[in-house]
Structure 1
Amino acid sequence: RSLRADAAFARPEIYEFLETEGFCYAIRLPANQKLLEAIDHLLTRPVGRPPLKPQVFHASFRYRARSWKKRRRVVAKVEWHRGELFPRVGFIATNLRWHSRRVVHFYNKRGTAEQWIKEGKHAVRWTKLSCHRFRDNAVRLQLFALAYNLGNFMRTQALPDEVSHWSLTTLREKLIKIGAKVVRHGRY
């Protein structure tokens, strides 16, 4: 059982609940001066001409915020991009015992789930819950989720490989909404 979450969930009561219930977690931490001081050695631009690809460095250390009852592991990722004056820095609080790079990879999968949610919002419009009663909106959301899952099934199992990477919105626009093509107009 595991949880990936953004900085909105970086709260001591959430950490304590997850640890008590036996969950593994990777939760983004907002940067602060203490965290930046812990990775100060990575915040100096590497010597030499910057390569074309970003230079990525990871660090792991123990940290205790004032609101926390105990120290927790924090993984830092520092990216130096060509043409940028300052590095991109991110911090993740975690109880995973993996290598820092693997923790960052695990956390980044959160973005994949967000893409699925965004695709559902645009393709089947599952945020359009306009009924007045909660129960009616709950049923409507279940129907939207079913439509999304059917679309995904069709995309991954029933369509040729050439179009299996298309978004559900593109599939709807190119395959479902347009069922025919006008070859000859009635006026001519």
Structure 2
Amino acid sequence: MLPEKLHFSPLSRRLVEASFTGGHITSDAGLLLLREVDRQHGLTRRLAKIVPDRRDPGRVQHGLQTLLAQRIYALAAGYEDLNDHDGLRHDYALQTAVNRLQPLAGKSTLGRLEQQADRETVVQAHRLLWEHFIAQHDQAPAEIVLDFDATDVPVHGDQEGRFFHGYYDHYCFLPLYVFCGRHLLVSYLRPSNIDGARHSWAILALLVKFIRRFWPETRIVFRGDGGFCRHRMLDWCDRKQVDYVVGLARNTRLQRMAAPAMQAVAEAYQETGQKMSGVYRFLYQAGSWRRRRLVVSRLEHGEQGANPRFIVVSRFAEDAAQQYYEDYCGRGDMENRIKDQQLDLFADRTSSPRWWTNQWRLMLSAFAYVLFERLRDHLQGTALARMSIHNLRLKLLKIGAVIIRNSRRIRVLISEAYPHQELFAGLVARLKPT
């Protein structure tokens, strides 16, 4: 039996006592912000319409939208495992966020929901992401850049589709991500025994077809590293008027063609002793290409010697340096978005033996990411606007509060020591419908 009071070492002349009588206290009061964001955009409501529900209607206690919101909000708050929900189901903040006053679903119910996902569910969930992306624009943009990249998700069991990958040196999956700026468009699970560009052509074709239904005049640019430089994909882009900025693997022929410019950069380094760089453009045709294409090379020489890099582009820009350092190297920001997905929203929790369950977990993380991005829209002009999801969670979701419920109202008493009170109050004012 628990004692009424817990005694600690005194502070000066004052006794330090504790007891378990403080009422219902949460560490996730900021989940109410995500609730308002979700109400504005209807993400979990729309997602619930595409998830198959094979339960007996007479025995259902938790609606699909409630289950989806519970799982997605918990991921956003940093709870990665289904096991966490055996305790979270009693948390007043999470209950309020998903519009419930009773205990939420436990791990078993949520686990059975994940087992319902199939290929069609994942396809429709991606379609919802694309529709949401279009809806975030008041008018068609003049240009959009579709960033493609692959990464590894280590696996430690006998999951369906697991293979050993020589480059990453472990068993893993090889998901493909597509972003347009900060907008997540594709989170596609793949086995790792394939070419890193596998399926990217088909996904690009589907994306271009979908986007042009709404924005027929928008210039679309396909951007990726050297792993996506495949001649059939470039040929398709040429036929469909899709521009591209793609990395090109270094080879002796490319280096020979850039040798005069490389020599000039090397001589400049010898004269100054400082690392020197330059940009050189030329036409090049690989053996598998149908025609010559435009290549931009970034030439660099320093203490380690020459370090040339190459990209293939569909058109030359006026400023060659800008085309390399901004138009191509800008894709590096996508790696931060992937980190948000895998490190902060747990898209790497692919421990189910079923393939489509693991793919569905990537989608749940994707929708948690979208909620954060819509919350970020209201942070423009503040110090938090460009923070990682990890830091946004700490500053806006992980808020201590006492929650008191009665028949008339739910009172959330946030700690007086919370350091972002004005920002939080401003967010509530902007998010809550008038």
TM range (shorter): 0.7 to 0.9
Please show how residues 86-165 of structure 1 align to structure 2 within 5 Å: 86-99=305-318, 100-104=320-324, 105-131=326-352, 133=354, 136-158=357-379, 161-165=382-386
Q: What is the alpha-carbon distance in structure 1 between the residues aligned to residue 334 and residue 342 of structure 2? A: 13
**Structure 1 unpaired stretches of 5+:** 184-188
Contact 1:60 1:75 in 2 (8 A): yes
Partner of 2:239: 20
Q: What is the alpha-carbon distance in structure 1 between the residues aligned to residue 311 and residue 301 of structure 2? A: 18
**Structure 2 unpaired stretches of 5+:** 1-219, 402-414, 418-434
- Relative distance call for 1:39 and 1:160 in structure 2 (3 A) is closer
1:48 maps onto 2:243 in alignment: no
Please show how residues 66-81 of structure 1 align to structure 2 within 5 Å: 66-81=287-302
Task: Give 3-state SS (helix, strand or coil) of 1:43's partner.
Answer: helix
Task: Give 3-state SS (helix, strand or coil) of 2:308's partner.
Answer: strand
Q: What is the alpha-carbon distance in structure 2 between the residues aligned to residue 159 and residue 67 of structure 1? A: 47
Describe the superposition over 1:134-183 as per-residue Cα deviations: whole angstroms up to 9, x where unpaired: 554454433322211222333442487233332111232454346378x9
Q: Could you list the runs of 4 or more consecutive aligned residues of structure 1 that deviate by over 6 angstroms after TM superposition?
A: none
Q: What is the alpha-carbon distance in structure 1 between the residues aligned to residue 246 and residue 357 of structure 2? A: 34
Quote how far apart the aligned CAs of 1:29 are.
0.9
TM-score by length of 2: 0.37
Partner of 1:168: 389
Q: What is the alpha-carbon distance in structure 2 between the residues aligned to residue 156 and residue 55 of structure 1? A: 40
Partner of 2:278: 57
Q: Which moved more, 1:96-105 or 1:106-115?
A: 96-105
Partner of 2:26: none
Q: Could you tell me which amino acid in structure 2 is paired with residue 80 of structure 1?
A: H
- Relative distance call for 1:101 and 1:160 in structure 2 (3 A) is closer
Q: What is the alpha-carbon distance in structure 2 between the residues aligned to residue 160 and residue 30 of structure 1? A: 40
Percent sequence identity is 26
Quote how far apart the aligned CAs of 1:131 are.
4.4
Task: Give 3-state SS (helix, strand or coil) of 2:385's partner.
Answer: coil
Partner of 2:253: 34
- Relative distance call for 1:164 and 1:179 in structure 2 (3 A) is farther
Structure number with higher relative contact order (C-alpha < 8 Å, ≥ 6 residues apart): 2
Contact 1:62 1:72 in 2 (8 A): yes
Selected match of 2:229 from 10, 14, 27: 10
State the superposition RMSD in angstroms: 2.6
Q: What is the alpha-carbon distance in structure 2 between the residues aligned to residue 65 and residue 29 of structure 1? A: 10
Contact 1:96 1:103 in 2 (8 A): no
Task: Give 3-state SS (helix, strand or coil) of 2:304's partner.
Answer: coil
- Relative distance call for 1:66 and 1:160 in structure 2 (3 A) is closer
Quote how far apart the aligned CAs of 1:127 are.
2.9
Q: Could you tell me which amino acid in structure 2 is paired with residue 146 of structure 1?
A: F
Q: What is the alpha-carbon distance in structure 1 between the residues aligned to residue 236 and residue 381 of structure 2? A: 45
Q: Could you tell me which amino acid in structure 2 is paired with residue 32 of structure 1?
A: N
Aligned length: 178
Contact 1:75 1:91 in 2 (8 A): yes
Quote how far apart the aligned CAs of 1:129 are.
3.7
Please show how residues 177-188 of structure 1 align to structure 2 within 5 Å: 177=398, 179=400
Task: Give 3-state SS (helix, strand or coil) of 2:310's partner.
Answer: strand
- The structure with the largest alpha-carbon Rg is 2
Q: What is the alpha-carbon distance in structure 2 between the residues aligned to residue 150 and residue 94 of structure 1? A: 34
Q: Could you tell me which amino acid in structure 2 is paired with residue 30 of structure 1?
A: A
Q: What is the alpha-carbon distance in structure 1 between the residues aligned to residue 312 and residue 386 of structure 2? A: 33
Quote how far apart the aligned CAs of 1:57 are.
0.7
Q: Could you tell me which amino acid in structure 2 is paired with residue 120 of structure 1?
A: Q
Quote how far apart the aligned CAs of 1:63 are.
0.9
Partner of 2:57: none
Task: Give 3-state SS (helix, strand or coil) of 1:34's partner.
Answer: helix
Q: What is the alpha-carbon distance in structure 2 between the residues aligned to residue 129 and residue 116 of structure 1? A: 19
Q: What is the alpha-carbon distance in structure 2 between the residues aligned to residue 39 and residue 165 of structure 1? A: 38
